[in-house]
Amino acid sequence: MIILVYSNYFLKSARKLPKIQQNKLAELLEKFQKNPFSSELHTKSLTGKLAGFYSFRITRDWRVIFQFLSSEKIQLIDIGHRKDIYK
């Protein structure tokens, strides 16, 4: 199983999420830990200034940005609305 490392920024952003998204995030993190590229997560690699990072969907409008530290360890960087998160 993959080890998840939570950045302080990620934890702070998670606390500010609406309750519905918080519950969905908790559910998806279990699946993410087993398979970060599960089709349910809609994981994609990012480009431009975010090259080397990836994102997955919490809901249609909310995303999580993460990076692989190794094949066994992933750092969760940030959570945000899709209109803001990639800036």
Given this model, what pLDDT does residue 86 score? 87
Given this model, what pLDDT does residue 9 score? 93
Give the pLDDT band of residue 87 (cuts 50, 70, 90). confident
Give the pLDDT band of residue 79 (cuts 50, 70, 90). very high
pTM of the model: 0.92
Given this model, what pLDDT does residue 63 score? 97
Given this model, what pLDDT does residue 45 score? 97
Mean pLDDT, to the nearest integer, of 64-71? Answer: 96
Q: How far is CA 24 from CA 21, 36, 59, 84, in A?
A: 5, 16, 8, 19
Topology adopted by domain 3-81: YaeB-like fold (3.30.2310)
* Extents of the domains making up the chain: 3-81
The Cα–Cα gap between 52 and 63 comes to 16
